[in-house]
Amino acid sequence: MTTEHGNLLVVDDNEMNRDMLSRRLARKGHTVEVAEDGHRALAMIEETDYDVVLLDIMMPGIDGYETLEKIRSDRDSGDLPVIMATAKDASEDVVAALKLGANDYVTKPFDFPVVLARVQTQLQLKRSREALARAHHKMKKDLEAAARIQASLLPSEQVVEFEGARVAWRYVPCDELAGDTLGIVRLDDRSVGVYVVDVSGHGVPSALLSVSLSRVLKSEPTSSVLWTTDPGSVEPRIASPLEVMTELSKRFPYDMQTGQYFTMVYAVIDLKNQRLTYASAGHEPMIIVGSGREAEFGKSTGQPIALVPAMIMKSTYEERTIEICPGDRIYLYSDGIPEAHDAGGDQYGNERLIAKLAELLETDLDQGLPKVLETVRQWQGGPHFDDDVSLLGVEIL
375 and 252 co-located in one domain: yes
Give the burial class of 71: count Cβ atoms within 10 A of its Cβ; 0-12 exposed, 13-18 middle, 19 or more buried: buried
96 and 205 co-located in one domain: no
Residue, of 328 and 201, whose pLDDT is higher? 328
* CA–CA gap between residue 53 and residue 195 (Å, rounded): 60
- Last residue of one domain, picked from the residues 74, 102, 135: 135
59 and 188 co-located in one domain: no
344 and 204 co-located in one domain: yes
> What pLDDT, in 10s, does the model give residues 77-102?
999 999 998 888 788 888 999 999 99
Give the burial class of 252: count Cβ atoms within 10 A of its Cβ; 0-12 exposed, 13-18 middle, 19 or more buried: middle
Task: Give SS3 for 133.
Answer: helix
| Inter-residue contact 377 to 358 (CB < 8 Å) | no
Q: Locate all alpha helices (DSSP H) within the chain, ordered by sequence.
A: 15-27, 38-47, 64-74, 91-100, 112-152, 203-216, 241-251, 349-359, 365-380
Q: Nearest-5° angle of CA 183, CA 299, CA 342?
A: 80
> What pLDDT, in 10s, does the model give residues 316-327?
789 999 999 999
239 and 344 co-located in one domain: yes
- Last residue of one domain, picked from the residues 70, 104, 135: 135
Q: Is residue 234 part of a domain?
A: yes
366 and 237 co-located in one domain: yes
Q: How confident is the model at residue 248 (pLDDT cuts 50, 70, 90)?
A: very high
Residue, of 234 and 194, whose pLDDT is higher? 194
Sheet holding 82-86, edge to edge: 31-35, 7-11, 52-55, 82-86, 104-107
Look at residues 184, 192, 240, 245 and name the one whose alpha carbon lies nearest to residue 214: 184
- Last residue of one domain, picked from the residues 109, 135, 161: 135
State the total domains in the chain: 2
101 and 177 co-located in one domain: no
* CA–CA gap between residue 159 and residue 77 (Å, rounded): 50
192 and 121 co-located in one domain: no
161 and 110 co-located in one domain: no
Q: Is residue 2 part of a domain?
A: no
pLDDT score for 205: 85
pLDDT score for 315: 60
205 and 234 co-located in one domain: yes
Q: Is the pTM of this model over 0.85?
A: no
Residue 347 DSSP one-character state:
B
pLDDT score for 3: 65
Q: Is residue 305 part of a domain?
A: yes
* CA–CA gap between residue 60 and residue 68 (Å, rounded): 14
Q: How confident is the model at residue 220 (pLDDT cuts 50, 70, 90)?
A: confident
Q: Is residue 46 part of a domain?
A: yes
Backbone angles phi, psi at 304, to 5 degrees: -55, 145
CATH number reported for the structural domain that contains residue 49 in this entry: 3.40.50.2300
pLDDT score for 234: 84
234 and 363 co-located in one domain: yes
Sheet holding 275-281, edge to edge: 180-186, 191-199, 262-270, 275-281, 319-323
Q: Is the pLDDT of residue 140 over 80?
A: yes
Q: Is the pLDDT of residue 2 over 60?
A: no
| End-to-end Cα, the chain, rounded Å | 74
pLDDT score for 313: 60
CATH number reported for the structural domain that contains residue 240 in this entry: 3.60.40.10
Q: Is residue 15 part of a domain?
A: yes
Q: Is residue 148 part of a domain?
A: no
| Inter-residue contact 159 to 166 (CB < 8 Å) | yes
* CA–CA gap between residue 154 and residue 169 (Å, rounded): 10
Q: Compute the average pLDDT of residues 269-280.
A: 96
Backbone angles phi, psi at 386, to 5 degrees: -80, -10
Structural domain span for residue 78 = 7-135
196 and 263 co-located in one domain: yes
Q: Which helix (H) or strand (E) holds 172?
A: strand 165-172
Q: Is residue 338 part of a domain?
A: yes
Q: Is residue 362 part of a domain?
A: yes
